[in-house]
């Protein structure tokens, strides 16, 4: 496994498992399978409504002697309707069954996101979060967050894949050493991306799948990447990317795809809807 050192010295695995759109039951199975296959990075969120399942998998893996808590890197995200709930972090940890998380995000640039980030900063100072992140921030909302933040974000989570590398945002964050964690790393299942000619050619050369080539590209770009799956074979294969290296010339060829398309386009109206989308467990 390759590790990426965050600006505060915390080391994060370059590859993890994402749990977006997984039920609590599927998340539990997927995370346990991932840990058995050597994954140590696990990403979830309040909004995925599967933190309890993720927590069960972590506990089971620890109880079974597969991994120690200190060797795991667990990230989750506060949902906008909880930004002003002073108990939100404690309730999140309770659902996960953990004393701390390794990375805590605010999930959307919605509602009172400054209050949400202040909660993260308090959790960081209290030892409940080892590093802090923001997810899906851009433009003036990103600027407002950076102005208000006492502790600049260690990680930003954005849609990232060979069609979209968010160079402008990452250029803005370069002075803080903020690292990029990418979701939709395989293009949200878009066959056009995975079947691009360059990936087919490289898959043949390195005796890997096209998806493995894409994930290897993420790692060499210095991104934290969290492909999601509930298929044990895919989970295993996604981690089999550390026995080869793409050349500089091959990375340059892949770079020509950048700017082709994005799959998620949230406008201000959509982002503000998140501020009133209460989760079932709230109350």
- Annotated active-site positions, please? 48
Which residues are bridge partners to 225 per DSSP?
A: 15, 182
Q: Is 64 helix (H, G, I), strand (E, B) or coil?
A: coil
Which H/E stretch holds residue 182? strand 179-183
Burial class from Cβ neighbours inside 10 Å (0-12, 13-18, 19+) for residue 151 reads middle
DSSP 82: G
Which residues are bridge partners to 18 per DSSP?
A: 43, 228
Q: What is the DSSP string of 249-283?
A: HHHHHHHTTTTS--S----HHHHHHHTT---TT--
Q: Is 180 helix (H, G, I), strand (E, B) or coil?
A: strand
Q: What is the DSSP string of 211-230?
A: HHHHHHHHHHTT-EE--B-S
């Amino acid at each position: 496994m390759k590790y990426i050192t965050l600006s505060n010295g915390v080391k994060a695995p370059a590859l993890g498992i994402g749990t977006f759109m997984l039920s609590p039951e599927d998340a539990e199975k997927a995370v346990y399978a991932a840990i058995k296959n050597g994954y140590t990075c696990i990403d979830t969120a309040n909004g995925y409504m599967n933190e309890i399942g993720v927590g069960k998998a972590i506990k089971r893996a620890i109880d079974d002697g597969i991994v120690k808590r200190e060797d795991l890197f667990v990230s989750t995200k506060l949902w906008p309707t909880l930004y002003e709930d002073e108990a939100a972090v404690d309730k999140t940890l309770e659902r996960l069954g953990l004393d701390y998380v390794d990375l805590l995000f605010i999930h959307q640039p919605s509602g009172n996101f400054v209050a949400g980030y202040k909660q993260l900063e308090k959790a960081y100072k209290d030892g409940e979060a080892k590093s802090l992140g923001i997810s899906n921030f851009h433009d003036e909302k990103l600027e407002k967050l950076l102005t208000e933040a006492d502790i600049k974000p260690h990680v930003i989570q954005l849609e990232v894949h060979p069609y979209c590398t968010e160079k402008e945002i990452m250029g803005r964050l370069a002075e803080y050493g903020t690292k990029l964690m990418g979701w939709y790393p395989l293009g949200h299942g878009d066959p056009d991306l995975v079947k691009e000619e360059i990936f087919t050619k490289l898959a043949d050369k390195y005796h890997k799948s096209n998806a493995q080539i894409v994930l290897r590209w993420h790692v060499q770009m210095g991104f934290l990447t969290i492909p999601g799956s509930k298929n044990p074979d895919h989970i295993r294969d996604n981690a089999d990317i550390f026995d080869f290296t793409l050349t500089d010339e091959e990375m340059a060829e892949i770079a020509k795809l950048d700017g082709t398309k994005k799959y998620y386009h949230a406008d201000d109206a959509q982002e503000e809807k998140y501020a009133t989308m209460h989760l079932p467990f709230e109350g």
